[in-house]
Structure 1
Amino acid sequence: MRNKILILDDDEDILYFCSVVFENLDFEVVSSPHSKDILEQVENAMPDIILIDNWIPGLGGVKATQTLKSTPSLSEIPVILFSANSNLPTLAEEAGADSYLKKPFDLDELENLALSLLRNKA
């Protein structure tokens, strides 16, 4: 069965490049430019992993991640918070994210991090 990723970012270029990376890994890709209805989006997609921008419109990455991690049925889905923010490690810890990735990032780094989290989840 194919893995599924939910990518939340309002930057169309980042959505495109991340989608291409994961489609090449045979992932089913679902994306969104906002986090307004984060629980509904995740429940509808039921992804294996989530990649969320810290500055995503709506709740924002930290609050959206906290919401997911406090929802028992969704809390085990690995979340990668990504941002150009200089205090990203602190934000990721505050959010309860499983990992973080500093923008700009190397696509191989993104791929390796996501696959590593999925292996650890299994």
Structure 2
Amino acid sequence: MKAPDNTHILIIDDNEDIVFMLKAMLTLKGYLVDVRTNTDKLEEHLLKKRPNLILMDMLLSGSDGREICKKLKANKAFSDIPIIMISAHPTAKHDCLKAGSDFFLAKPFDMKNLFEKVHEAL
């Protein structure tokens, strides 16, 4: 399954290993991938480089991905961008979907599951 032309995915995660793996795998599939390790000036970044999809960890250093998700979904400028939240926390799926996430991916996940969720979200 190859990426549609110029499909831009923003990864927001503070774990360097996960970011490296996600970026490498998505890039190999043809996606344009941008990475942020924090949510500082996120809305400004989204206005400049509007992604087709956001892939975000639930727990970020200094930020709660659920709160970021709520904020983005409440803003008309970003509410239509699909968000896939990822987490290893046992109750995360319910919490992330309640916060407005469009999809959820439990850690650990395999690449097939990741690509299926990305394809579904787009």
Length-normalised TM-score, structure 1: 0.91
Q: Distance in 1 between matches of 2:63 and 2:46?
A: 14
Q: CA deviation at 1:4?
A: 0.2
Deviating runs (4+, > 4 A) in structure 1? none
Q: How does 1:1-122 map to 2 (within 5 A)?
A: 1-118=5-122
Q: CA deviation at 1:57?
A: 2.3
More helix by share: 1
Q: How many residues align?
A: 118
Q: Which letter does structure 1 place at the counterpart of 2:58? A: N
Q: Which letter does structure 2 place at the counterpart of 1:44? A: K
Q: Distance in 2 between matches of 1:67 and 1:57?
A: 17
Q: CA deviation at 1:22?
A: 1.0
User: Could you list the runs of 5+ residues in structure 1 that have no partner in the other structure?
Assistant: none
Q: Distance in 2 between matches of 1:113 and 1:8?
A: 16
User: Could you list the runs of 5+ residues in structure 2 that have no partner in the other structure?
Assistant: none
Q: CA deviation at 1:35?
A: 1.4
Share of identical aligned residues, percent? 29
Length-normalised TM-score, structure 2: 0.91
Greater displacement, 38-47 / 105-114: 38-47
